[in-house]
Amino acid sequence: MLEVAHLTCGYGDIVAVDDLSFSVEAGEIFGLIGANGAGKTATIMALAGLLPVRAGAVRVAGRDVTAMPAHKRAGQGIALVPEGRRVFAELTVGENLTVGGTRLDAAALERNRAKVFETFPRLAGRARQLAGSLSGGEQQMLAIGRAMMAEPSILLIDEMSLGLMPTAVDECYRVLSRLREEDLAIVLVEQGTERVLDAADRVGVLETGRLAWTGTRAEAAGNSAVVEAYLGVDKG
> Applying CB under 6 A, which residues contact ligand ATP?
11-12, 14, 16, 34, 36-42, 191
Shortest reach from residue 204's CB to ligand ATP, in Å = 12
Cβ-based nearer residue to ligand ATP, 30 or 120: 30
- Concatenating the DSSP letter of every residue in the chain gives -EEEEEEEEEETTEEEEEEEEEEE-TTEEEEEEESTTSSHHHHHHHHHTSS---EEEEEETTEE-TT--HHHHHHTTEEEE-TT----TTSBHHHHHHHHTTTS-HHHHHHHHHHHHHH-TTTTT-TTSBGGGS-HHHHHHHHHHHHHTT--SEEEEESSSTT--HHHHHHHHHHHHHHHHTT-EEEEEES-SHHHHHH-SEEEEEETTEEEEEEEHHHHHHTHHHHHHHHT----
Shortest reach from residue 141's CB to ligand ATP, in Å = 21
Shortest reach from residue 12's CB to ligand ATP, in Å = 6
Cβ-based nearer residue to ligand ATP, 36 or 167: 36
Shortest reach from residue 30's CB to ligand ATP, in Å = 15
Round to whole Å and give the CA distance between 76 and 71. 9
Cβ-based nearer residue to ligand ATP, 39 or 137: 39
Shortest reach from residue 114's CB to ligand ATP, in Å = 34
Cβ-based nearer residue to ligand ATP, 11 or 183: 11
Cβ-based nearer residue to ligand ATP, 95 or 207: 207
Shortest reach from residue 43's CB to ligand ATP, in Å = 7
Cβ-based nearer residue to ligand ATP, 93 or 231: 231
Round to whole Å and give the CA distance between 34 and 36. 7
Distance of CA 172 to the CA centre of its chain: 12
